[in-house]
Structure 1
Amino acid sequence: MRAPLWAAMAVVLSVSTLAGPLRAAERETRIPDAALAQAAQLREKALASDLGYRITESLTTEVGPRLAGSEADARAVAWAEAKFRELGYDKVWLEPVTFPKWERRSERAEVVGKHRQPLALTALGGSPAGTVEAEVVRFADLAALEAAPAGSLAGKIAFVDYRMQRARDGAGYGPGSRVRSRAPSAAIRAGAAAFLMRSAGTDSHRNPHTGITRYDDGLTPIPSAALAVPDADQLARLLAKGPVRVRVALDCGWDGTATSHNVIGEIRGSKKPDEVVIIGGHLDSWDLGTGAIDDAAGVGLTMAAAKLIGEIKPRPARTIRVIAYANEEQGLHGGKAYAAAHANAVAKHQIGAESDFGAGRIYAYSSSAPAHAQAADKQIAAALAPLGIEHTPGTGGPGPDIGPIAEKGMAWARLAQDGSDYFDYHHTPDDTFDKIDPQALAQNVAAYAVFAYLAASAEGDFGSQLKAVTPPAE
């Protein structure tokens, strides 16, 4: 005898109601107790190791500044490939990255007239060459310059005197970097012959901060440079006394294209070697210092973290992939190339994290882990807590070079470094190896080792799948 229709529907509804929680429970990502115990030992081993410090010293000393597309950039690629092999990585390879090549040759500026004196400045990346002598017009910020009427700066030099604010999380850099990227085009629209800005930095040293700038389509670029902070102060004081003429002479510019490489090393997983956790930093640097905090430290600490994971027996289930990205500084070229080359394998990327904010101690951890991976995310956070790292879910975003693949659906994690003094040195001649604290760097190595090992050991995933995503800003 057939059951009444309502009874049959009730049975189906009951089964489906039970199946929902059952499927969720089956899918919940967790980390085995054995991996958590191993991570505690790994954390202590990394804290006692100076490997990350020694790798960072090697890159900054043996290669030095690594402007993208330069001869030193090519030596950095060779260095990274050799270092991965020296450290015993299982697989090492190069992926080409092609981009426009910008060169810096010489730069100088001076106040002319009765207050004649030199000014310390540096060309912004992407600036053309040129010599301009003209009256300076000061603007307090980007908005003031953008409000200048067309033609109002004809034959003059625009000077944006915006003072960047110090913050542990680097929040002041957004407004400062927007001056660098947008103000030259605003100056051109107002008719300016050249552009100057107070450096996007928080120091009080006579070291100007460089960085890439852009010019909007259809505009003819003008010489653009950043003044050291004390020199911006000096120019502002002179302008308060009356009109000031400045002579700016830049010899720099684009020169064809260059091909560098993302350098990639892997510590292969024991059970799921085709699934990867990615960590890394960018290999290139600006040419004024030796690129120690930006970003030799990121390369050094992630190379060391994966090396230490490789010494564990048994290894984690998944592969740890370390990427030394090409040409981050001039437009995330390496990160974009990696995302394009590996788009079809996004689901094989368990999760990724990047170190590109100096070498200060890590103070916070967060990730994009979806609901089904929250338990594992909390387990990782608990393993990081003894390092003084707070769990701050819902904050931050992916690093710059993993941003492009995060936009394609890869899960990301943020290990937030203390950047209180980062912008004292960022993009200046002062970005040198002596600025790195060995103990702070060891804490970074420990954090990345614990994070990558546990993510690679997890039973379940962190939500990576090929889809369009708009990640939050870092």
Structure 2
Amino acid sequence: MESIDLSYEKHLIGEIWTTDEPYRNLEEFCDVIGARWAGSESERRGGEFLKAKLEQYGLQNVRLEPVPFGAWTRGHATLELTAPVAQSFSCIALPYSPPGDIEAELIDTGNGEADDFERLGEAVRGKVVIAAAETNPAGVRSKKLAHRTDKLRFAVDAGAAGMIFVNQNPGLLHITGGIGGPGGRPAAIIAVGTSWEHGQTILRLARRGGGSARVKISVGGSFSPDNTSFNVVGEIPGTRSADEIVLAALPPEAIGRTIRFVLYCGEEVGLLGSWAHTADHEAENAD
């Protein structure tokens, strides 16, 4: 039986298990660079740091590829139940929620799935929807169900005036997540996230009113349409087929082709970097 030289693999695995380089990089981000909201100066510093690291690691064609997008800045957010009793609740605006003030009747859509909105029909129109941010209970991932942005779309299509997302995990933590359109466009309606505890309290108080309740939501913040973020890109040129580029996946037959590493920007607020990279490099994509 022919022996296989695994010396490189052993060296690589040993380096992965013993180096503290990833932790030192993490410390640099946490202690020096800080929060890196898409389009911010600190995000730019983070991109320059990563570019220098890729060059240090020996990658070639290292560069910052610009990603134009619309930027959202958080402002205030308040949530009040005005009937059947008056009570205030803690909340945060979901990224790319438009600013504004609304007061309307509350309607419980349960999990906020498509069939929930179909069941309620025209009853949703003009109301503020309250729904579970994720349909699966905490710790359960047995089904692939509607994403937060899908639930918002269901609400918009049904004519809702606003939406409250409730965290499915106890712990007094607000649920959050981007709801903007492609390229970082504002959402169609106001949307806020609240904790499991506050969400359950709102629903319980609504039931005290026989299911009839009203809420008032106020959201601040601003939107700037012309901003630029950056994907960090570096490559290991292929020795056999340099013009054939493998992105992300590395099957054995890929060795010899150019391997491209892309560190995407703006993913948490709407997959901005990955969408932009796909569009900008469409000519390179395999049929």
TM (normalized to structure 1)?
A: 0.50
Aligned to 2:224: 255
Say yes or no: does 1:335 pair with 2:274. yes
Over 3 Å counting, the alpha-carbon distance change for 1:53 and 1:75 in structure 2 is same
Which of 143, 153, 157 is equivalent to 2:128? 157
Aligned to 1:363: none
Superposed displacement of residue 87, structure 1: 4.4
Cα distance in structure 1, aligned partners of 2:155 and 2:225: 26
Over 3 Å counting, the alpha-carbon distance change for 1:118 and 1:53 in structure 2 is farther
**Higher Cα radius of gyration:** 1
Deviations 1:268-315 (A, max 9, x none): 5666655555449xxxxxxxxxxxxxxxxxxxxxxxxxxxxxxxxxxx
Superposed displacement of residue 140, structure 1: 1.3
Cα distance in structure 2, aligned partners of 1:38 and 1:77: 30
Matches within 5 A, 1:296-445: 319-345=258-284, 408=285
Aligned to 1:223: 190
Query: In 2, are the aligned partners of 1:109 and 1:121 still within 8 Å (CA)?
Result: yes
Superposed displacement of residue 39, structure 1: 0.7
Which of 63, 78, 87 is equivalent to 2:33? 63
SS in 2 for 1:126: coil
Give the letter for the 2:160 counterpart.
Answer: A
SS in 2 for 1:196: strand
Say yes or no: does 1:192 pair with 2:131. no
Aligned to 1:145: 117
Over 3 Å counting, the alpha-carbon distance change for 1:259 and 1:74 in structure 2 is same
Cα distance in structure 2, aligned partners of 1:64 and 1:233: 34
Superposed displacement of residue 212, structure 1: 2.4
Superposed displacement of residue 64, structure 1: 3.0
Cα distance in structure 1, aligned partners of 2:34 and 2:129: 34
Say yes or no: does 1:33 pair with 2:4. yes
SS in 2 for 1:175: coil
Superposed displacement of residue 44, structure 1: 2.2
Deviations 1:79-137 (A, max 9, x none): 32233345454442111111222222221212335744332322223321111223311
Over 3 Å counting, the alpha-carbon distance change for 1:63 and 1:176 in structure 2 is farther
TM (normalized to structure 2)?
A: 0.78
Aligned to 1:96: 66
Report how many residues are paired.
271
Cα distance in structure 2, aligned partners of 1:212 and 1:333: 11
Superposed displacement of residue 329, structure 1: 3.0
Over 3 Å counting, the alpha-carbon distance change for 1:113 and 1:94 in structure 2 is same
Query: In 1, are the aligned partners of 2:178 and 2:269 still within 8 Å (CA)?
Result: yes
Over 3 Å counting, the alpha-carbon distance change for 1:338 and 1:214 in structure 2 is closer
Query: In 1, are the aligned partners of 2:99 and 2:190 still within 8 Å (CA)?
Result: yes
Aligned to 2:76: 106
Structure 2: 5+ residue stretches without partners: 250-254
Cα distance in structure 2, aligned partners of 1:121 and 1:257: 28
SS in 2 for 1:47: helix
Q: CA RMSD in A?
A: 3.2
Say yes or no: does 1:241 pair with 2:182. no
Which is strand-richer, 1 or 2?
2
Superposed displacement of residue 185, structure 1: 3.7
SS in 1 for 2:73: strand
Which is helix-richer, 1 or 2?
1
Structure 1: 5+ residue stretches without partners: 1-31, 281-315, 346-407, 409-465, 468-474
